[in-house]
Amino acid sequence: MERRKKINTRIQLRYKKMRRLCREMNRRRRRLRDKVDLLCKDLVSSNRQFTETLHGLRRAYDFQSILWGEFDLRYLLYKALREMKGEVFDGSAAIYLQDSGEFVAHLAGAWYEQADTISELEEVFQETLVRQVMETSQAVMVSDGKSWPSISKNQQDTLSGLSLLGLPVIFADELLGVVVMYRQAEHVFHQKDRERLMGLMKPLGQAISSVRRLQDLITQN
């Protein structure tokens, strides 16, 4: 009887040890599974970011290739704006150059064909969006001009119904100008639009700088 009791005790102890071992193995398996899941998510995220970076570099390269070899600044700017308009849905584009103190090129939508309307828009852009970008050297994005708190009521009325995006054109640490993108507020600009278009600002700045140097050499000679 005593011997059977000892055997049963040993068997119970073994079962307990096996259950503890199984629980521990299950815990380790869950931890390993969680680590594998986290690693897989990190890999997917890294691959997605890498792919987006490659696409961005490709767009910048293609954009630079389109501008390369153009020696007329105004034509180059219109060409650049046409390409940037193609990057966003139903967008209009204009570029302000700091040294000229005015908008040098403007591709407006069909609803802004009249010269006086475009001139009024450029004046308000210069007083608001361009000024803020020039002061901060940072992109500015506004969902709807009518709700932009830092501008006057008259300026809000002019920009009402427009989603706005101002982008600094910087090359070699020099702020050359500002690209203004705008479209109907029902198609508001998003962060991805800003990032996609910002990738084109450096090649644009480089192209502008190259044409200016060429023009300076021609003038000197």
Query: What does pTM read for this prediction?
Result: 0.74
What are 81-96's pLDDT values in tens digits? 999 998 888 889 999 9
Last residue of a domain, one of 15, 45, 67: 67
| Same domain flag for 57 and 98 | no
**Could you report the per-residue pLDDT of 19-66, keeping only the tens digit for each?**
776 777 777 777 767 666 666 565 555 556 545 555 656 776 777 888
The total number of structural domains that make up the chain:
2
Q: By the 8 A CB rule, do 200 and 60 touch?
A: yes
Type of residue found at 34: D
> Are 189 and 180 a contacting pair, CB within 8 Å?
no
In this structure, the answer to whether residues 39 and 61 fall within a common structural domain is: yes
Domain span at residue 116 reads 70-220
> Are residues 113 and 17 part of one domain?
no
**Residue 90 belongs to a domain with what CATH number?**
3.30.450.40
